[in-house]
A and B are shown apart, each in its own frame.
Chain A
């Protein structure tokens, strides 16, 4: 388990990059750190293995505080934390095979042992046909797979990914995300991903750390993040709900309707909850917007509907609907 306690980073010019950061990465968990550029994501990642020494605070890996270690102890414990860098950082003078072998070479393993382990790793990463190629001859996806193989070969406790998909096309991105998920499921290794892409969070993360101006603005499960922080995400990242609000409001006012936002999460997302409840109370429902997305472990949906507010069963309708979905919000 990796635990970050009261971490602060202040640069020499007094620029306060990271402010009182606290969060945990449990064993086997995939945690995503998301934030806009300049939020301090990469600085945070670099402090986790002390590439950047924090000004104050603790970084505990299975209870051992990295900031208290001497140089030699730190060098050893760093082998338990692998980093897959944004720009891969492969050695241009080494082939794919030799790059993946590097962490084992520094362990002074025998040639035979290295060959066995590396070949096995390359096999699982589908890199055997490219094993003698140099980095300059590889595609983005191949470079990323080589970098991941190199990170995995030393059998670390936790793997840190810095923007793993930012330089890849959508199809390769999907493949790499699947690969990260697969690694997490087959090895139960903890994974920490720094990203600015919501899709990465949605598809593979269990937990989100939302970094804003150097602070942790939110820590928690992914679905809660999208529900709690929706307005903020709309403003800062992208339009999560794509609807023409001014026209909608005009219509609702003219017809004297109530505008509702319904959030679904979990197994009920796939059940006709709205239809059942509406039918029961004879409420006519006008659907204005709806979408369902698949988070890592369960579906998550948002719906905007308008109902006539003169119906006498409205209160009961709202009450029963609230009990059956994640959240109902009356917008007017």
Chain B
């Protein structure tokens, strides 16, 4: 059983971290796009923003368990299967990307108008603004966002576990719920709590160290 628990933990971590990575790599740029479009005075940008905003909202509003089912064809296309932790990464990432984008956009919006004005009056290009002002000034908050994202993803892996994804969630359902193994369920929960605590602790530490 110990071996099973270790394996399940590793599976959970694998699903969480890989989909978090996708969310960071795609969600933050999407957040940047949303923010920059909202700041632009061009009419076409405003339209583009509305479309993007709408798409993000749609993906954010579909309950995760339904999303898993909805995108089964995509999952099969990308991974060749719909069972197992690798397959679960597809719906996890698709749920996490718009979530991350929204979190990032919120952090960017919290940046003072003054910094935007300063950058514009210095004659910065959009890229210079993003790389020299936007990202460094929100770095600490972004770490906090990523921490939140990872912890949310752990919860989501448990939901994915219910439909064959593996990991701690699946183990809790298979052993604890279907075979009445209370001990497995408790160990399972203890591991989940520990994971969350460690990630939150580390995230807060890093975020604070970036706050100047």
B-binding residues in A (CB < 8 A) = 46, 49, 51, 53, 75-79, 81-83, 85, 87, 89, 91-94, 102-103, 105-106, 134-136, 154
A-B contacts besides A51-B117, A106-B124, 19 pairs, CB < 8 Å: A46-B117, A76-B123, A81-B121, A82-B121, A83-B117, A85-B118, A87-B112, A89-B114, A89-B117, A89-B118, A91-B136, A91-B137, A93-B136, A93-B139, A94-B136, A105-B132, A106-B132, A134-B212, A135-B212
Picked from B114, B121, B124, B133, the residue with its CB within 8 Å of the CB of A49 is B121
Instruction: Please classify how large the interface on chain B is, using the bins under 10, 10 to 19, 20 to 34, 35 or more.
Output: 20 to 34
Contact A83 B121 (CB under 8 A): yes
State the CA gap A187–B115 with chains docked (Å): 27
Contact A78 B117 (CB under 8 A): no
Contact B115 A91 (CB under 8 A): yes
Contact B121 A106 (CB under 8 A): no
Contact B117 A85 (CB under 8 A): yes
- Beyond A51-B117, A89-B114, A89-B117, whether A106 also contacts B123 by CB under 8 A is yes
Give chain B interface residues in 102-159, CB to chain A under 8 Å: 112, 114-115, 117-118, 120-125, 128, 132-133, 136-137, 139
Distance (whole angstroms) from the CB of B78 to the closest CB of chain A: 37
For B133, the chain A residues whose CB sits under 8 A away are 91
Q: Which residue of A lies closest to B113 (CB)?
A: A89
Distance (whole angstroms) from the CB of B75 to the closest CB of chain A: 39
Contact B212 A78 (CB under 8 A): no
- Beyond A89-B117, A91-B133, whether A79 also contacts B123 by CB under 8 A is yes
State the CA gap A87–B132 with chains docked (Å): 19
Contact A85 B212 (CB under 8 A): no
Contact A89 B125 (CB under 8 A): no
**Per-position contact with A for B198-212: 1 when CB-CB < 8 Å, else 0?**
000000000000101
For A83, the chain B residues whose CB sits under 8 A away are 117-118, 121
**Per-position contact with A for B83-97: 1 when CB-CB < 8 Å, else 0?**
000000000000000
Distance (whole angstroms) from the CB of B124 to the closest CB of chain A: 5
Contact A78 B123 (CB under 8 A): yes
Distance (whole angstroms) from the CB of A192 to the closest CB of chain B: 13
For B121, the chain A residues whose CB sits under 8 A away are 49, 51, 78, 81-83
Picked from B112, B115, B117, B122, the residue with its CB within 8 Å of the CB of A106 is B122
For B118, the chain A residues whose CB sits under 8 A away are 83, 85, 89
State the CA gap A81–B123 with chains docked (Å): 10
State the CA gap A93–B128 with chains docked (Å): 15
State the CA gap A134–B211 with chains docked (Å): 10
Distance (whole angstroms) from the CB of A152 to the closest CB of chain B: 13
Contact B125 A75 (CB under 8 A): yes
State the CA gap A46–B118 with chains docked (Å): 11
Distance (whole angstroms) from the CB of B38 to the closest CB of chain A: 17
Contact A92 B114 (CB under 8 A): no
- Beyond A89-B117, A91-B133, A134-B212, whether A103 also contacts B139 by CB under 8 A is no
For A53, the chain B residues whose CB sits under 8 A away are 41
9 A–B contacts from the bound complex (CB under 8 Å): A51-B120, A79-B122, A81-B121, A83-B118, A91-B115, A91-B133, A92-B212, A106-B123, A136-B212
For B137, the chain A residues whose CB sits under 8 A away are 91-93
Top 8 closest pairs, chain A to chain B, by CB: A89-B114, A93-B136, A134-B212, A78-B123, A79-B123, A89-B118, A75-B123, A83-B121
State the CA gap A82–B210 with chains docked (Å): 29
Distance (whole angstroms) from the CB of B160 to the closest CB of chain A: 37
State the CA gap A76–B122 with chains docked (Å): 9
For A49, the chain B residues whose CB sits under 8 A away are 121
For A51, the chain B residues whose CB sits under 8 A away are 117, 120-121
Contact B122 A103 (CB under 8 A): yes
Distance (whole angstroms) from the CB of B117 to the closest CB of chain A: 5
For B112, the chain A residues whose CB sits under 8 A away are 87, 89
Distance (whole angstroms) from the CB of B116 to the closest CB of chain A: 9
For A79, the chain B residues whose CB sits under 8 A away are 122-123
For B114, the chain A residues whose CB sits under 8 A away are 85, 87, 89
For A76, the chain B residues whose CB sits under 8 A away are 123
